[in-house]
């Protein structure tokens, strides 16, 4: 990732506001330990090794919104990384997420090399958490029609529509599981004139959904991740 430009939050927010104001497609996606593991399946790691990781065990207990192996999702995530506007990646020696170091930036570099991925614009993989705590981000979202896609969409909607947010949540989709992807993307494509920006908090699935939303609708798709927890509970985990 030698030629990528690393953006700070104010620069990312400029890109976001410009896309919304000018009605241009824009997607922000993020690669953390879960995305790394999904991308590593039978590419840089044997499947057996992937399935032994604690994250994979949790996924197969139904805690991550997907089950492994899933090479279809692996390939879809790789395509999303190749097409998204800005890619969040973990800096070297990052301590902001709790995961073994070999599953963080080291593994990102390996899977990106395998897929020959070289994003032009990158930012911190946890930028979503900073955005949730930045008034300027919420100001950009005021008076926009927002699509909210997450497991507890109805509950989050009621919080975001009241103060201090005061947002207009135009639609919600309760997204639980990878298998909902085709139906969700179908709905999004059919309702592209009904929203301006979509926030996705549904694990690794959000990477594909955010990028595909921008591509299919010309709108803005944000992989919002655990930032939803900051809105609901005041902290990410």
Residue 77: domain span = 5-233
Q: What is the pLDDT of residue 91?
A: 95
- Cβ-based burial of 21 (10 A; exposed 0-12, middle 13-18, buried ≥19): exposed
Q: What is the pLDDT of residue 16?
A: 98
Tally of domains within the chain: 1
Q: What is the pLDDT of residue 237?
A: 77
Q: What is the pLDDT of residue 2?
A: 64
Q: What is the pLDDT of residue 1?
A: 62
Q: How far apart (Å, rounded) are the C-alpha atoms in residues 234 and 217?
A: 32
CB atoms within 10 A of CB 52: 11
pLDDT per residue rounded down to tens, the chain (237 residues)? 667 899 999 999 999 999 999 999 999 999 999 999 999 999 999 999 999 999 999 999 999 999 999 999 999 999 999 999 999 999 999 998 989 999 999 999 999 999 999 999 999 999 999 999 999 999 999 999 999 999 999 999 999 999 999 999 999 999 999 999 999 999 999 999 999 999 999 999 999 999 999 999 999 999 999 999 999 999 877
Q: What is the pLDDT of residue 6?
A: 97
């Amino acid at each position: 990732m030698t030629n990528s430009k690393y953006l700070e939050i104010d620069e990312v927010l400029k890109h976001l506001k410009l896309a919304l104001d000018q009605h241009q497609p824009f997607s922000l996606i993020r690669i953390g330990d879960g995305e790394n593991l999904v991308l590593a399946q039978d590419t840089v790691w044997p499947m057996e090794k992937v399935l032994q990781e604690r994250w994979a065990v949790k996924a197969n207990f139904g805690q991550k919104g997907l089950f492994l192996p899933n090479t279809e999702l692996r390939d879809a995530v790789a395509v999303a990384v190749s097409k998204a506007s800005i890619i969040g990646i973990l800096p070297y020696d990052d301590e902001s997420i709790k995961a073994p170091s070999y599953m963080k930036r080291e593994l990102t570099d390996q899977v990106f090399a395998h897929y020959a991925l070289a994003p032009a614009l990158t930012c911190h993989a946890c930028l979503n958490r900073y955005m949730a705590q930045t008034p300027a981000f919420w100001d950009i979202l005021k008076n926009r029609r927002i699509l909210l896609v997450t497991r507890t969409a109805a509950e989050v909607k009621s919080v975001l529509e009241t103060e201090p947010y005061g947002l207009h949540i135009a639609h919600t989709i309760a997204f639980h599981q990878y298998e909902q992807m085709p139906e969700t993307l179908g709905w999004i494509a059919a309702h592209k004139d009904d929203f301006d920006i979509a926030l996705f908090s549904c694990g690794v699935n959000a990477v594909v959904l955010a990028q595909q939303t921008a591509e299919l609708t010309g709108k803005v798709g944000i992989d919002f991740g655990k930032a939803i927890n900051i809105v609901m509970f005041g902290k990410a985990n």
